[in-house]
């Protein structure tokens, strides 16, 4: 060390500083304590003293290279988990780029690659499903939703989409579950639907009762030998009856709606369900609309999550159910049919289901009826501040 004093180095040392090359011999000091440090410094000092400037720089670079090579050897004895964090290019090159990218671009919650990707204010990634689930969880628990990685607040205003991640993910290969071929994700859907020779297929005569199922490349061969096209009308009748029964069921909903539409008294309201909490010891989330008028009476809709489940947080399959409540005193019974629709204001994706209830002065509220939406849609609904929908009501008058 003493060999590096200004007197020993003289003008050459100043020149070194001006050129900013001091890093070349200063940096090793900041590295992990190594015995080679001393020799390294000694070599530089010696070379500087003998005015061999170029060689000094070269040898110091050489020493640095060796020292970093040593460092890599040292880190290769560390446990594998630590190795990833040291960003060691040596070990990373052994796994495929696509595998490494999968690890980087995956959702912080489910570890799947996100098709639609959101990020917290610190850049942690979440798929749309998990993002909505976190927001819905927070809503049910009456807490602020936080990023599972860094605990910063997340909500619809703070978190933005990350299109670069979405596009990168769509380019990453994924395996077709039928033929095991690897394809970029953006091609996979079409491949599975139209191109994959191994995709599960049915015989074109399945509608008249052929139960054959098999990979797509065997369809032609099967259909050539299929006995169903040569069967008599009598033999295929039973198959047609099954299909008929299914169609009838689907038609029934529409028939019912058409029948209701010809009633004398019809009204609809575009409503907004807002979240409230019960004043129990452990408060529970419920939704309610403000009062609305229909058939000269005041009404509200109340909704709750997983009405059959004690603690809705502990279930993945969430559902919503709702009840219609009359708020004014009835003087005569009212027979009401009602139906929730998605409505014009960015409403929910709800399947049509009609309910019927006879309101009297004693029976002022219906049971909690199922609002037919799927679990993902339910999380989406819970994640947003309010739930918009249209309620159509029909009154049957005798």
Q: Would you tell me how many other CB atoms lie within 10 Å of the CB of residue 248?
A: 10
Which residues of the chain form contacts with Zn ion (CB under 5 A)?
107, 109-110, 120, 122, 124, 127, 130, 147, 149-150, 176, 178-179, 196, 203, 205, 210, 212, 226
- In the complex, the smallest distance separating the C-beta of residue 238 from Zn ion, rounded to whole angstroms, is 16
- In the complex, the smallest distance separating the C-beta of residue 185 from Zn ion, rounded to whole angstroms, is 13
User: Crossing angle for the helix pair 128-141 and 375-383, nearest 10 degrees?
Assistant: 60
Q: Which is nearer to Zn ion, 239 or 260 (CB)?
A: 239
Q: Which is nearer to Zn ion, 1 or 104 (CB)?
A: 104
Enter the tokens of residue 259.
């029948």
Distance CA 13, CA 30 (A): 20
| Per-state percent for the chain, helix, strand, coil, to nearest 5 | 45, 20, 35
- In the complex, the smallest distance separating the C-beta of residue 148 from Zn ion, rounded to whole angstroms, is 8
Question: What residues have CB less than 8 Å from 306, skipping those under 6 apart?
Answer: 312, 315, 318, 319
Q: Contact, 59 vs 43, CB < 8 A?
A: yes
Q: Would you tell me how many other CB atoms lie within 10 Å of the CB of residue 278?
A: 11
Q: Which is nearer to Zn ion, 35 or 194 (CB)?
A: 194
- In the complex, the smallest distance separating the C-beta of residue 147 from Zn ion, rounded to whole angstroms, is 3
* DSSP secondary structure letter of residue 161: E
- In the complex, the smallest distance separating the C-beta of residue 204 from Zn ion, rounded to whole angstroms, is 7
- In the complex, the smallest distance separating the C-beta of residue 199 from Zn ion, rounded to whole angstroms, is 6
Q: Would you tell me how many other CB atoms lie within 10 Å of the CB of residue 52?
A: 13
- In the complex, the smallest distance separating the C-beta of residue 187 from Zn ion, rounded to whole angstroms, is 10
Name the residue among 339, 397, 347, 398 with its Cα closest to residue 371: 339
Q: Which is nearer to Zn ion, 24 or 201 (CB)?
A: 201
Q: Which is nearer to Zn ion, 107 or 260 (CB)?
A: 107
Distance CA 382, CA 323 (A): 17
Q: Which is nearer to Zn ion, 59 or 379 (CB)?
A: 379
Residues counted in the chain: 398
Distance CA 28, CA 295 (A): 86
Q: Which is nearer to Zn ion, 158 or 354 (CB)?
A: 158
């Amino acid at each position: 060390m003493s060999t590096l004093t200004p007197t020993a180095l003289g003008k050459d040392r100043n020149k070194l500083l001006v050129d900013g090359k001091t890093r070349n011999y200063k940096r090793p000091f900041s590295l992990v304590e190594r015995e080679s440090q001393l020799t390294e410094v000694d070599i530089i000092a010696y070379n500087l003293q003998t005015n061999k400037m170029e060689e000094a720089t070269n040898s110091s670079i050489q020493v640095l290279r060796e020292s970093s090579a040593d460092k890599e050897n040292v880190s290769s004895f560390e446990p594998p988990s630590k190795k990833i964090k040291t960003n060691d290019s040596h070990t990373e090159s052994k796994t495929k780029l696509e595998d490494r990218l999968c690890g980087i671009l995956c959702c912080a919650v489910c570890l799947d690659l996100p098709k639609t990707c959101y990020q917290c204010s610190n850049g942690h990634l979440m798929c749309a499903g998990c993002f909505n689930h976190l927001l819905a969880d927070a809503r049910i628990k009456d807490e602020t939703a936080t990023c599972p990685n860094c605990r910063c607040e997340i909500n619809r205003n703070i978190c933005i989409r990350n299109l670069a991640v979405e596009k990168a993910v769509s380019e990453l290969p994924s395996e077709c579950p039928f033929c095991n071929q690897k394809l970029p994700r953006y091609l996979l859907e079409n491949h599975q639907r139209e191109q994959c020779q191994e995709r599960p297929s049915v015989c074109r005569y399945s509608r008249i009762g052929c139960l054959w199922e098999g990979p797509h490349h065997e369809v032609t061969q099967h259909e050539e030998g299929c006995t169903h096209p040569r069967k008599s009308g009598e033999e295929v009748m039973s198959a047609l009856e099954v299909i008929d029964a299914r169609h009838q069921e689907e038609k029934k909903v529409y028939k019912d709606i058409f029948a209701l539409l010809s009633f004398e008294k019809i009204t609809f309201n575009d409503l907004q369900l807002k979240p409230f909490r019960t004043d129990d010891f452990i408060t529970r989330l419920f939704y309610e609309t403000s009062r609305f008028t229909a058939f000269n009476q005041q009404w509200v809709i109340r909704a709750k999550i997983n009405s059959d489940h004690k603690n809705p947080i502990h279930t993945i399959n969430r559902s919503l159910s709702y009840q219609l409540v009359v708020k004014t005193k009835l003087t005569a019974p009212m027979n009401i049919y009602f139906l929730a629709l998605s409505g014009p204001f960015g409403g929910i994706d709800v399947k049509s289901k009609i309910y019927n209830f006879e309101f009297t002065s004693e029976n002022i509220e219906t049971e909690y009826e199922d609002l037919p939406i799927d679990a993902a849609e339910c999380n989406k609904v819970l994640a947003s501040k309010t739930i918009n929908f249209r309620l159509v009501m029909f009154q049957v008058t005798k």
